[in-house]
Structure 1
Amino acid sequence: MIIEKVMGNIETSDNLAPHSERVYLESGDLVKRIQRVTTDHGREIGIRLRTATDLKDGDILYMDDKNMIVISVLADDLLVICPQSIQQMGEIAHQLGNRHLPAQFERNEMLVQYDYLVEELLQQTGIPYRREERKVKQAFRHIGHSHD
Protein backbone atom coordinates (compact mmCIF):
# COMPACT_ATOMS: atom_id res chain seq x y z
CA MET A 1 0.00 0.00 0.00
CA ILE A 2 1.30 3.45 -0.98
CA ILE A 3 -0.06 6.51 0.85
CA GLU A 4 -0.02 9.69 -1.25
CA LYS A 5 -2.07 12.05 0.92
CA VAL A 6 -3.23 12.50 4.50
CA MET A 7 -6.96 11.87 4.91
CA GLY A 8 -7.39 14.07 7.98
CA ASN A 9 -6.50 14.05 11.65
CA ILE A 10 -8.21 12.17 14.48
CA GLU A 11 -8.54 15.41 16.48
CA THR A 12 -10.65 17.10 13.81
CA SER A 13 -12.38 14.24 11.95
CA ASP A 14 -15.91 13.26 12.92
CA ASN A 15 -16.31 9.86 11.26
CA LEU A 16 -13.56 7.53 12.49
CA ALA A 17 -13.23 3.82 11.82
CA PRO A 18 -13.87 1.54 14.82
CA HIS A 19 -10.41 -0.10 14.64
CA SER A 20 -7.05 1.62 14.24
CA GLU A 21 -3.48 0.64 13.54
CA ARG A 22 -0.64 2.91 14.58
CA VAL A 23 2.52 3.96 12.79
CA TYR A 24 5.04 5.17 15.39
CA LEU A 25 7.39 7.87 14.10
CA GLU A 26 10.14 9.94 15.64
CA SER A 27 9.47 13.66 15.36
CA GLY A 28 12.30 14.03 12.83
CA ASP A 29 10.52 11.62 10.46
CA LEU A 30 7.48 13.89 10.23
CA VAL A 31 9.23 16.03 7.60
CA LYS A 32 10.00 13.12 5.25
CA ARG A 33 7.75 12.98 2.19
CA ILE A 34 8.95 9.52 1.19
CA GLN A 35 9.46 6.68 3.67
CA ARG A 36 8.64 3.05 4.37
CA VAL A 37 6.95 2.32 7.70
CA THR A 38 5.37 -0.61 9.53
CA THR A 39 2.18 -0.44 11.56
CA ASP A 40 1.87 -1.90 15.04
CA HIS A 41 0.00 -4.79 13.36
CA GLY A 42 3.00 -5.59 11.12
CA ARG A 43 1.61 -4.12 7.90
CA GLU A 44 4.28 -2.47 5.73
CA ILE A 45 3.22 0.68 3.93
CA GLY A 46 4.98 3.26 1.83
CA ILE A 47 4.43 6.97 2.27
CA ARG A 48 4.99 9.10 -0.83
CA LEU A 49 3.19 12.40 -0.26
CA ARG A 50 2.27 14.32 -3.41
CA THR A 51 2.58 17.69 -1.67
CA ALA A 52 5.40 18.92 0.55
CA THR A 53 3.55 18.95 3.87
CA ASP A 54 4.79 17.79 7.24
CA LEU A 55 3.03 14.90 8.93
CA LYS A 56 1.52 15.48 12.38
CA ASP A 57 0.57 13.40 15.38
CA GLY A 58 -2.88 11.92 14.76
CA ASP A 59 -2.77 12.18 10.96
CA ILE A 60 -4.89 9.53 9.26
CA LEU A 61 -2.96 7.81 6.47
CA TYR A 62 -5.68 5.34 5.48
CA MET A 63 -9.30 4.76 6.42
CA ASP A 64 -12.17 2.57 5.31
CA ASP A 65 -15.40 1.72 7.15
CA LYS A 66 -13.64 -0.79 9.45
CA ASN A 67 -10.01 0.25 9.89
CA MET A 68 -7.71 3.26 9.85
CA ILE A 69 -3.96 3.81 10.02
CA VAL A 70 -2.92 6.72 12.25
CA ILE A 71 0.44 8.37 12.98
CA SER A 72 1.61 8.43 16.59
CA VAL A 73 4.70 10.48 17.39
CA LEU A 74 7.21 9.03 19.84
CA ALA A 75 8.24 11.14 22.82
CA ASP A 76 11.32 13.36 22.49
CA ASP A 77 13.93 14.15 25.14
CA LEU A 78 13.19 17.84 25.70
CA LEU A 79 14.22 20.83 27.71
CA VAL A 80 11.03 22.59 28.79
CA ILE A 81 12.00 26.21 29.43
CA CYS A 82 9.72 28.31 31.64
CA PRO A 83 10.92 31.93 31.65
CA GLN A 84 9.40 33.96 34.47
CA SER A 85 9.65 37.34 32.78
CA ILE A 86 9.81 38.93 29.35
CA GLN A 87 13.45 39.71 30.17
CA GLN A 88 14.29 36.02 30.68
CA MET A 89 12.35 35.07 27.54
CA GLY A 90 14.26 37.63 25.49
CA GLU A 91 17.62 36.50 26.85
CA ILE A 92 17.10 32.80 26.23
CA ALA A 93 15.43 33.37 22.84
CA HIS A 94 18.43 35.46 21.77
CA GLN A 95 20.92 32.82 22.97
CA LEU A 96 19.07 29.93 21.30
CA GLY A 97 18.54 31.95 18.12
CA ASN A 98 22.30 32.53 17.88
CA ARG A 99 22.71 28.74 17.92
CA HIS A 100 19.99 28.32 15.25
CA LEU A 101 18.23 25.93 17.61
CA PRO A 102 14.62 25.17 16.59
CA ALA A 103 12.01 25.67 19.30
CA GLN A 104 8.31 25.10 19.78
CA PHE A 105 5.93 26.85 22.12
CA GLU A 106 3.08 25.40 24.16
CA ARG A 107 1.21 27.64 26.56
CA ASN A 108 3.97 29.57 28.43
CA GLU A 109 6.68 26.99 27.74
CA MET A 110 9.47 26.92 25.20
CA LEU A 111 10.40 23.41 24.04
CA VAL A 112 13.80 22.51 22.60
CA GLN A 113 15.37 19.14 21.98
CA TYR A 114 17.76 18.16 24.76
CA ASP A 115 21.31 19.48 24.43
CA TYR A 116 23.72 19.41 27.36
CA LEU A 117 25.22 22.77 26.33
CA VAL A 118 21.78 24.42 26.42
CA GLU A 119 21.14 22.82 29.81
CA GLU A 120 24.41 24.32 31.09
CA LEU A 121 23.38 27.73 29.70
CA LEU A 122 20.02 27.52 31.48
CA GLN A 123 21.75 26.61 34.74
CA GLN A 124 24.20 29.53 34.39
CA THR A 125 21.47 32.07 33.60
CA GLY A 126 19.09 30.80 36.29
CA ILE A 127 16.18 30.45 33.87
CA PRO A 128 13.76 27.81 35.15
CA TYR A 129 13.59 24.62 33.09
CA ARG A 130 13.07 20.90 33.39
CA ARG A 131 14.12 17.92 31.32
CA GLU A 132 11.15 15.87 30.15
CA GLU A 133 10.13 13.10 27.76
CA ARG A 134 7.22 14.59 25.82
CA LYS A 135 5.40 13.94 22.58
CA VAL A 136 5.43 16.93 20.22
CA LYS A 137 2.70 17.46 17.66
CA GLN A 138 5.03 18.50 14.85
CA ALA A 139 8.66 18.20 13.83
CA PHE A 140 11.38 20.54 15.06
CA ARG A 141 12.28 22.36 11.87
CA HIS A 142 15.39 24.41 11.27
CA ILE A 143 14.69 27.71 9.57
CA GLY A 144 16.93 28.37 6.60
CA HIS A 145 19.33 31.23 7.24
CA SER A 146 22.77 32.31 6.14
CA HIS A 147 25.14 34.97 7.39
CA ASP A 148 26.03 36.96 4.28
Structure 2
Amino acid sequence: MDLPTAREVIHSHHGDDQVTLTYDARFLRRKVLTATSGAQFLVDLAQTSSVGGGDAFKLSDGRLIEVIPATETLLEVTGDLPRLAWHIGNRHTPCQVEDNRLLIQMDHVLRDMLEKLGADLRQVEAPFTPEGGAYGHGRTHGHSH
Protein backbone atom coordinates (compact mmCIF):
# COMPACT_ATOMS: atom_id res chain seq x y z
CA MET A 1 0.00 0.00 0.00
CA ASP A 2 1.37 3.37 -1.01
CA LEU A 3 1.02 5.98 1.70
CA PRO A 4 0.66 9.70 1.04
CA THR A 5 4.13 11.16 1.55
CA ALA A 6 5.23 14.40 3.18
CA ARG A 7 8.49 15.74 1.77
CA GLU A 8 7.90 19.28 3.01
CA VAL A 9 7.01 21.04 6.27
CA ILE A 10 5.26 24.38 6.00
CA HIS A 11 4.10 26.92 8.55
CA SER A 12 0.32 26.64 8.68
CA HIS A 13 -2.06 26.92 11.62
CA HIS A 14 -4.66 25.01 9.62
CA GLY A 15 -4.68 21.43 8.58
CA ASP A 16 -7.04 18.97 6.96
CA ASP A 17 -6.07 16.64 9.82
CA GLN A 18 -3.75 16.69 12.83
CA VAL A 19 -0.94 14.63 14.31
CA THR A 20 -0.02 14.94 17.99
CA LEU A 21 3.68 14.42 18.73
CA THR A 22 5.93 14.73 21.77
CA TYR A 23 8.95 17.03 21.68
CA ASP A 24 11.28 14.11 20.94
CA ALA A 25 8.97 12.75 18.21
CA ARG A 26 8.90 16.18 16.53
CA PHE A 27 12.58 15.74 15.54
CA LEU A 28 12.45 13.43 12.54
CA ARG A 29 13.45 12.74 8.99
CA ARG A 30 11.70 9.55 7.88
CA LYS A 31 8.83 7.90 9.71
CA VAL A 32 5.28 6.61 9.24
CA LEU A 33 2.87 8.66 11.38
CA THR A 34 -0.81 8.28 12.18
CA ALA A 35 -3.07 11.35 12.09
CA THR A 36 -5.95 11.95 14.52
CA SER A 37 -8.38 10.54 11.93
CA GLY A 38 -6.42 7.27 11.83
CA ALA A 39 -4.98 7.99 8.39
CA GLN A 40 -1.33 7.00 8.03
CA PHE A 41 1.26 8.92 6.05
CA LEU A 42 4.99 8.75 5.46
CA VAL A 43 7.25 11.63 6.42
CA ASP A 44 10.28 11.55 4.12
CA LEU A 45 12.21 14.80 4.55
CA ALA A 46 15.54 15.61 2.91
CA GLN A 47 17.17 16.06 6.31
CA THR A 48 16.32 15.58 9.97
CA SER A 49 14.14 18.50 10.99
CA SER A 50 12.50 19.95 14.07
CA VAL A 51 8.79 20.60 13.62
CA GLY A 52 6.61 22.47 16.06
CA GLY A 53 3.09 23.55 16.78
CA GLY A 54 1.81 25.59 13.87
CA ASP A 55 3.82 23.58 11.35
CA ALA A 56 2.16 21.15 8.97
CA PHE A 57 3.27 18.25 6.83
CA LYS A 58 2.29 18.85 3.20
CA LEU A 59 1.27 15.50 1.73
CA SER A 60 1.71 14.35 -1.85
CA ASP A 61 -2.10 14.32 -2.24
CA GLY A 62 -2.30 18.02 -1.23
CA ARG A 63 -3.59 17.56 2.33
CA LEU A 64 -2.01 19.39 5.25
CA ILE A 65 -1.46 17.53 8.52
CA GLU A 66 -1.10 20.06 11.34
CA VAL A 67 1.43 19.29 14.10
CA ILE A 68 0.07 19.52 17.66
CA PRO A 69 2.54 19.35 20.59
CA ALA A 70 1.57 16.45 22.87
CA THR A 71 1.05 16.79 26.60
CA GLU A 72 4.09 15.41 28.42
CA THR A 73 5.27 14.95 31.99
CA LEU A 74 7.60 17.89 32.66
CA LEU A 75 9.46 19.50 35.52
CA GLU A 76 8.27 23.02 36.37
CA VAL A 77 11.04 25.21 37.77
CA THR A 78 10.35 28.38 39.75
CA GLY A 79 12.52 30.57 41.93
CA ASP A 80 15.46 32.75 40.83
CA LEU A 81 14.69 32.20 37.13
CA PRO A 82 17.65 34.02 35.54
CA ARG A 83 20.13 32.06 37.66
CA LEU A 84 18.30 28.75 37.23
CA ALA A 85 17.92 29.31 33.46
CA TRP A 86 21.67 29.90 33.22
CA HIS A 87 22.43 26.55 34.90
CA ILE A 88 19.90 24.72 32.72
CA GLY A 89 21.30 26.34 29.56
CA ASN A 90 24.86 25.59 30.64
CA ARG A 91 23.91 21.91 30.40
CA HIS A 92 22.46 22.40 26.88
CA THR A 93 19.07 21.23 28.12
CA PRO A 94 15.96 22.13 26.13
CA CYS A 95 13.98 24.64 28.18
CA GLN A 96 10.60 26.30 27.72
CA VAL A 97 10.93 29.83 29.08
CA GLU A 98 7.79 31.52 30.42
CA ASP A 99 7.28 34.68 32.48
CA ASN A 100 6.93 32.89 35.82
CA ARG A 101 8.43 29.47 35.24
CA LEU A 102 10.77 27.27 33.25
CA LEU A 103 9.76 23.85 31.93
CA ILE A 104 12.22 21.03 31.24
CA GLN A 105 11.93 17.33 30.54
CA MET A 106 12.05 15.06 33.59
CA ASP A 107 15.65 14.25 34.52
CA HIS A 108 16.72 13.12 37.99
CA VAL A 109 20.23 14.59 37.67
CA LEU A 110 18.90 18.05 36.74
CA ARG A 111 16.23 17.75 39.42
CA ASP A 112 18.92 17.13 42.07
CA MET A 113 21.04 20.02 40.76
CA LEU A 114 18.09 22.44 40.73
CA GLU A 115 17.03 21.42 44.24
CA LYS A 116 20.57 22.15 45.47
CA LEU A 117 20.34 25.57 43.79
CA GLY A 118 17.16 26.35 45.76
CA ALA A 119 14.63 25.94 42.95
CA ASP A 120 11.01 25.15 43.65
CA LEU A 121 10.11 22.10 41.56
CA ARG A 122 6.84 20.49 40.60
CA GLN A 123 5.87 17.75 38.15
CA VAL A 124 3.33 19.03 35.60
CA GLU A 125 1.53 17.79 32.50
CA ALA A 126 1.82 20.23 29.58
CA PRO A 127 2.86 20.49 25.92
CA PHE A 128 6.62 21.05 25.65
CA THR A 129 7.74 23.77 23.25
CA PRO A 130 11.24 24.82 24.32
CA GLU A 131 13.21 27.72 22.88
CA GLY A 132 14.81 27.01 19.50
CA GLY A 133 18.52 27.20 18.83
CA ALA A 134 20.17 30.59 18.65
CA TYR A 135 21.63 29.84 15.22
CA GLY A 136 18.62 28.43 13.42
CA HIS A 137 14.96 27.54 13.58
CA GLY A 138 14.23 24.79 16.08
CA ARG A 139 16.91 22.30 17.04
CA THR A 140 20.24 22.34 15.33
CA HIS A 141 23.18 19.95 15.14
CA GLY A 142 26.80 21.03 15.13
CA HIS A 143 28.03 24.51 14.36
CA SER A 144 27.74 24.64 10.56
CA HIS A 145 24.66 26.86 10.69
TM-score between both structures, scaled by the size of structure 1: 0.68
More contact order relative to length (CA 8 Å, sep ≥ 6): 1
Structure 2 residue runs of 5 or longer lacking an equivalent are 133-138
Pairing 1:49–2:45 present: yes
Give the structure with the larger strand fraction. Answer: 2
Asked whether the 8 Å contact 1:77–1:132 carries over to 2, the reply is yes
Alpha-carbon deviation of 1:106?
Answer: 2.4
CA change 1:138–1:121 in 2 (3 A) is closer
TM-score between both structures, scaled by the size of structure 2: 0.70
After superposition, residues 1-148 of structure 1 pair within 5 angstroms as 1-10=4-13, 16=14, 20-50=16-46, 52-62=48-58, 68-84=64-80, 89-90=82-83, 92-93=84-85, 95-97=87-89, 99-137=91-129
Structure 1 residue runs of 5 or longer lacking an equivalent are 11-15
Alpha-carbon deviation of 1:81?
Answer: 1.4
> Which structure: larger Rg?
1
Q: How many residues align?
A: 132
Q: How large is the Cα RMSD of the aligned pairs?
A: 3.1
Percent identity, aligned pairs only, is: 24
CA change 1:116–1:142 in 2 (3 A) is farther
SS at match of 1:35: strand
Distance 1:99 1:54 in 2: 20
Deviations 1:74-126, CA, capped at 9 Å, x for gaps:
11221121233xxx632x34543554433232234222111223323333332
